[in-house]
Amino acid sequence: MQDAAPQSSDARSFAATMLRSGARAIASHAAESLLESYPEAGQLFGPKAYRGWHDNLSQRVDELAASVELGSAELFASDVAWSVAAFAAREVPTETVGRSLEALRAAITSDLPPMCVKAVDPVLEAGIRATAGEPMSLDRLVPGSPRADLTLRFLETTLDGNRRDAIRLVLDAYAEGAPVGDLYEQVLLPAERELGTMWHLGEISVPEEHAATEAIRGAMAVLSHTAGRESASQNASKVLVGAIEGDRHDIGVRAVADLVEIAGHTSVYLGADVPVRDLVRACECYTPSAVVLSAMMTVHLPALTQAIRAVREADVPRVIVGGGAFKADPALAQRVDADGYAHAAADVVRLLA
């Protein structure tokens, strides 16, 4: 897929600003048009069809704005493909997503200046192409290896409401010789990803997802304390770790903070949804040698870019980024001015070496 960037960065930034400022009006225009031209779309949300599609398309506009600003058609196409998978799981025809994007394109063409439409259209077209063919293949957990089997037992136990028993499964594996890094990377983090997929596809409820996520947090806390810490070396770093403002996903950054500590470095863990001003104050207070920032979704990337600019001004030597927002286009790490990209939590430890 071609990158959507013959447009200048200024043109893309202006178009993204216009999209964000007019998101609700554009979504309203598109929702009305969709329901009028394709009444079948109303079946998805029932009696609240307009409101449901308005919320859905508002989210699409936000994703589109971030993708346009960064010049990455891959980002938007990935978001659309993820949405198609959710619709398919609920037996909603893929055509419905494509029709909604066509309605969105018509609204944008009508409501925004031509120069904005020119910057937006290649990215939007990539999203429309992503609705063609079969839904994306999701990376699901399947039994067959000791770690996958343990992950599935962990999930089954915690979804049954047995949090303590689930945590005990992980601790027993550690006591039997499983490396702590493997238990994070091959059990706990895959468990969290599988939970997200299950929720997205409607296989579990929100309370079930919350309860299971709390079990993962508990397992991490007990496991990191039990594992202790390696002796700090002369190359040990002080690392500030957090998820940027608006991103409430904390499992990945929590894993990074734990693994950095276990490896002998010092981690200052700020948690999720860290405002830029607090991030800057933390840099001034702790003077870290590196900052690790996570962005889980496309819509979080503009805040990440702002956070990196602020961190640079605080004279932090290194910025490492990671999170789900980069999976569709890892080259984005360079575009947001990061010094490194961590595909997995353990990669941060390797990048600090």
Tens-place pLDDT, residues 117-137 = 999 999 999 999 999 877 778
Is 232 inside a domain boundary? no
Is 233 inside a domain boundary? no
**Among 67, 59, 69, 49, which residue's Cα sits nearest to residue 27?**
59
* Domain identity same for 250 and 213: no
Average pLDDT over residues 17-43: 95
Q: Looking at the predicted structure, is the pLDDT value of residue 78 above 90?
A: yes
* Domain identity same for 77 and 161: no
Residue-number span of the structural domain to which 40 is assigned:
9-129
Percent share of the chain, pLDDT over 90:
84
Q: Looking at the predicted structure, is the pLDDT value of residue 241 above 70?
A: yes
Q: Are 45 and 52 in contact (CB under 8 A)?
A: yes
Is 141 inside a domain boundary? no
* Domain identity same for 82 and 172: no
Average pLDDT over residues 33-43: 93
Q: Are 56 and 96 in contact (CB under 8 A)?
A: no
* Domain identity same for 222 and 242: no
* Domain identity same for 250 and 274: yes
Is 334 inside a domain boundary? yes
CATH number at residue 16: 1.10.490.20
* Domain identity same for 294 and 263: yes
SS3 338: coil
Q: Among the three residues 174, 193, 227, which one is the final residue of a domain in this structure?
A: 227
Mean pLDDT of the chain: 93
Q: Among the three residues 227, 261, 292, which one is the final residue of a domain in this structure?
A: 227
Average pLDDT over residues 36-45: 90
CA distances from 293 to 25, 223, 282 (A): 32, 23, 13
Q: Looking at the predicted structure, is the pLDDT value of residue 5 above 60?
A: no
> Tokens in use for 260?
């950095």
CATH number at residue 313: 3.40.50.280
Please, which pLDDT band fits residue 8 given cuts at 50, 70 and 90? confident
* Domain identity same for 273 and 348: yes
CA 134 to centroid of chain Cα atoms: 23
Q: Looking at the predicted structure, is the pLDDT value of residue 253 above 70?
A: yes
- For the chain, the domain total comes to 3
* Domain identity same for 80 and 15: yes
* Domain identity same for 166 and 84: no
CATH number at residue 164: 1.10.1240.10
Q: Among the three residues 164, 193, 227, which one is the final residue of a domain in this structure?
A: 227
CA distances from 116 to 59, 63, 113, 195, 260 (A): 19, 16, 5, 38, 43
* Domain identity same for 296 and 321: yes
**Predicted local confidence at residue 302, as pLDDT:** 93
